[in-house]
Amino acid sequence: MATNVSEPVARMYAAALLEIGREKGSVGKIHEGLQLLRGAWNDASFRDFFTSPRMNKDQKAKALVDVLRDKVVPEFLNFVLLLIKKRREPVFDNIVNQFEKYRDEAEGRAHAFVEAGSPFDEAEKEALKQALRQASGGKDIVLHYEEKPELLGGARVRMGDLLVDTTLKRRLANLARQVG
């Protein structure tokens, strides 16, 4: 599999942005700015405008300053202007992903993705979070829960490199391999 060449660049920008946020006490506000721009990024016409190398850098910067000036902290606005100046706009989505990863690490947070074959009630979700908190060394767990009836019961849990699959579908597939 080919390495995404933008990942090292994204890590560098994300780390610098997080460090600036720490120094200025604005990590949360920078995150809000990233989410605001990510929302616009999801619109194809904005993404085309923002990432176009044919668009004049000064015009692009002025348009974004006009839109963002009263909505984001100066540290975030300066970051956006630097991306434009250095023509790094195409890696914006990777920068956001890296920033969120670094922020989670710094704040002791881990994300767990749960696909449940049958519904979990709130007590079961809380028990799962507690077990994952212990497995992660005490990190605060953000649970991303999704019901998937096609799994036929049980659950699949992914947290970082940890994958636990207790789904009936997987167990039936294992049984079929053993029998066949």
Beta pairing class for 109-116 and 155-159: antiparallel
Burial class for 165, CB neighbours closer than 10 Å (0-12, 13-18, 19+): middle
85: which 2 tokens?
Answer: 């100046």
Q: What is the pLDDT of residues 56-99, one digit of tens each?
A: 999 999 999 999 999 999 999 999 999 999 999 999 999 999 99
What's residue 171's pLDDT?
81
CA distance 105 to 78: 24
Q: 97-120 burial string, b = 16+ CB within 10 Å, else e? A: bbbbebbeeeeeebbbebbbbeeb
Give the bridge partners for 169, in sequence order: none
Residue 61 Cα to chain centre, angstroms: 25
Handedness of CA 98, 60, 71, 73 (dihedral sign): positive
What's residue 1's pLDDT?
39
Give the bridge partners for 158, in sequence order: 113, 163
Beta pairing class for 140-147 and 155-159: unpaired
Global confidence as pTM: 0.77
Q: Crossing angle, helix 27-41 and helix 44-51, to 10 degrees?
A: 110
Q: What are the chain's domains?
A: 6-105 (1.10.520.20), 109-179 (3.40.30)
Average pLDDT, the chain: 92
The alpha helices in 42-121, defined as continuous H runs, are 44-51, 57-68, 74-85, 92-106
CA distance 143 to 163: 14
Q: What is the pLDDT of residues 9-44, one digit of tens each?
A: 999 999 999 999 999 999 999 999 999 999 999 999
Contact 117, 169 (CB under 8 A): yes
